[in-house]
Structure 1
Amino acid sequence: MKVIQHTGLGVAQKLFVFAVAAFMAGSAFAHVFPKTEEPAASAVVTSPAQVRIAFTGPLEPAFSSLTVTNAEGTQMTAVKAKVDPANTSVMSVGLPVLPAGHYIVHWVAVAPDGHRTQGQYPFDVK
């Protein structure tokens, strides 16, 4: 009678399993979200020259966007948002002089791996 003993996973197999698990955990965090916002959410400010958001990771410039609308839903941004080439986790868009009122920042952030997040936040100009 032949006895087969199972010795468990070898070192190479354990390393492979660990690498796959680490990759899977890392891909769960591939979505990027705002880390800092200028002007900040719910802030009351004088007319800002731009809106600038720093995200938790790099952005894909071709698919990420940033716009500002007024309380009536009219888009106030006349130019396309830009991702900073020196720091690809930062996106900004210039603004005209904004009259006093309520504004909403709308953002879409696409990570280089294609994961997309989006959101919005308000601010007011006094």
Structure 2
Amino acid sequence: MKMHRNGLRQTMVMWSAFCAGLVFASAAFAHVFPQKQEPGAGATVAAPAQVKITFDGPLEPAFTTLTVTDSTGKQVNTAKSTVDEHHPAVVSVPLPALGAGRYTVHWVAVASDGHRTHGDYAFDVK
């Protein structure tokens, strides 16, 4: 009976180590994704002064960007986007005065571990 208990204990230890490895591996290869967008996707708003996205993890400022285009595909922001130095999961870009219409936000987010994600969403200005 002792051999059976030892074998079971060894199997449990190995299984626990395997599961812990999976958890740490997934954390090491994490990507960042938007948690909050201002203005939000699909929103109709008065002309915003900026676009701001909060991600679920810290961003690499040198490689993270936001651009905003109008309905013809022309980029409307002239300033570069910046990652907030006090809140490294937040990136924003100031906007000029926008007229009524549909605008698309294009984002590229690079996590502090170097993994890149990207996406876009639209909002309307009334």
Secondary structure at 1:98 match in 2? coil
Higher helix share: 2
1: distance between equivalents of 2:115 and 2:108? 11
Q: Could you report, residue by residue, the CA deviation over 1:37-69 in whole angstroms, capped at 9, with x for unpaired residues?
A: 000101111110000000011100000000100
2: distance between equivalents of 1:21 and 1:100? 49
Match of residue 86 from structure 2: 86
Match of residue 24 from structure 1: 25
Match of residue 61 from structure 2: 61
1: distance between equivalents of 2:94 and 2:46? 15
Structure 2: 5+ residue runs without aligned partners?
Answer: none
Match of residue 46 from structure 1: 46
2: distance between equivalents of 1:40 and 1:20? 37
2: distance between equivalents of 1:101 and 1:36? 22
Match of residue 37 from structure 2: 37
CA-based RMSD: 2.1
The percent of aligned pairs where both chains have the same amino acid is 52
1:22 corresponds to which letter in structure 2? V
The answer to whether the 8 Å contact 2:28/2:113 transfers is no
Match of residue 116 from structure 2: 116
Match of residue 103 from structure 1: 103
Displacement after TM superposition at 1:12 (Å): 8.4
Secondary structure at 1:67 match in 2? strand
2: distance between equivalents of 1:108 and 1:118? 4
2:84 corresponds to which letter in structure 1? D
Q: Give the alignment's TM-score, normalised by structure 1.
A: 0.85
Structure 1: 5+ residue runs without aligned partners?
Answer: none
Q: Could you report, residue by residue, the CA deviation over 1:49-95 in whole angstroms, capped at 9, with x for unpaired residues?
A: 00000001110000000010000011001011000000000000000
2: distance between equivalents of 1:69 and 1:32? 23
1:53 corresponds to which letter in structure 2? I
1:48 corresponds to which letter in structure 2? P
How many residues are aligned here? 121
Q: Give the alignment's TM-score, normalised by structure 2.
A: 0.85
